[in-house]
Amino acid sequence: MTDRQVAPACALAFSGGKDSMLALDRLQRAGYTITSLVTLYDGATGRVRFHGTPLAVMQAQAAALGLPLRAYPTEPATFEDVFLTALADLRAAGGSALAFGDIHLADVRAWYETRVIAAGLAHLEPLWGDAPADLAAEVIQRGYRAIITCIEEATADSAWLGRELTPDLLAAFAARGIDICGERGEYHTLVTDGPAFHAPLAVRPGAVHAANGFRQLDIHLA
């Protein structure tokens, strides 16, 4: 990772799912110190957008990882302003870099990268450009446990909700013809255990909700 000399410590934009968790794992293995996790969540629902994970679960997950969580409520009209506030807060706290778990969506990366650099922070992408199938397999091989919390009805199978990511499930994604990492929103996850955890995150499934073409599984602390 060429940015290490510039930013041996960084914050991480964090959804609680497998991609941001693998970014955390790779950064730590590369020698970075993660100073904090930065989460923007929907203020109206108290949940991480798309993943559907409640803020209380995110807070418990951060505690299980032994990392401070910077959580910011947003709504669609205020998302950019809130994100810029989060960047300013990082700078004010002495932060020098913010990392992301992006893989191959160039427009998404560019939106964040432009604003991160303008705020005076280094922009890091430890997963960028790797094959989705390899990344998803790495999550499993590293020993992380990721639960499917959301699926897109048009592209995914609702039976996947609540299932743990396994090689068999990755094969089902491939057979379905979707992005193996769900990079286009086909599915989202919550990671509950793995080598970065000090203790497993104890959760239990709740009801399933359908809205706007997606199905989300409620996740509760056990």
pLDDT number for residue 3 = 44
Same domain, 112 and 217: no
Cβ neighbours of 145 (radius 10 Å): 20
Q: Say whether pLDDT at 195 is over 50.
A: yes
Task: Say which DSSP state 165 is in.
Answer: P
pLDDT number for residue 200 = 98
Residues 139-188: pLDDT tens digits?
999 999 999 999 999 999 999 999 999 999 999 999 999 999 999 999 99
pLDDT number for residue 17 = 98
Same domain, 187 and 158: yes
Q: Say whether pLDDT at 6 is over 60.
A: no
Which two tokens mark 110?
């560019």
Same domain, 108 and 159: no
Residues 64-83: pLDDT tens digits?
999 999 999 999 999 999 99
Same domain, 99 and 150: no
Same domain, 150 and 91: no
| Residues contacting 218, CB < 8 A, separation 6+ | 52, 205, 206, 207, 208, 209
pLDDT number for residue 2 = 45
Same domain, 116 and 154: no
Of 62, 89, 124, which marks where a domain is finished? 124
Of 65, 93, 124, which marks where a domain is finished? 124
CA angle 57, 194, 24 (to 5 degrees): 80
The CATH code of the domain that includes 137 is 3.90.1490
pLDDT number for residue 91 = 97
Q: How many domains does the chain have?
A: 2
The CATH code of the domain that includes 17 is 3.40.50.620
State the first-to-last Cα distance of the chain, in angstroms, to the nearest integer: 38
Same domain, 97 and 21: yes
pLDDT category at 8 given cuts 50, 70, 90 is: confident
Full residue range of the structural domain in which residue 89 is found: 2-124
Of 124, 144, 167, which marks where a domain is finished? 124
Residues 34-63: pLDDT tens digits?
999 999 999 999 999 999 999 999 999 999
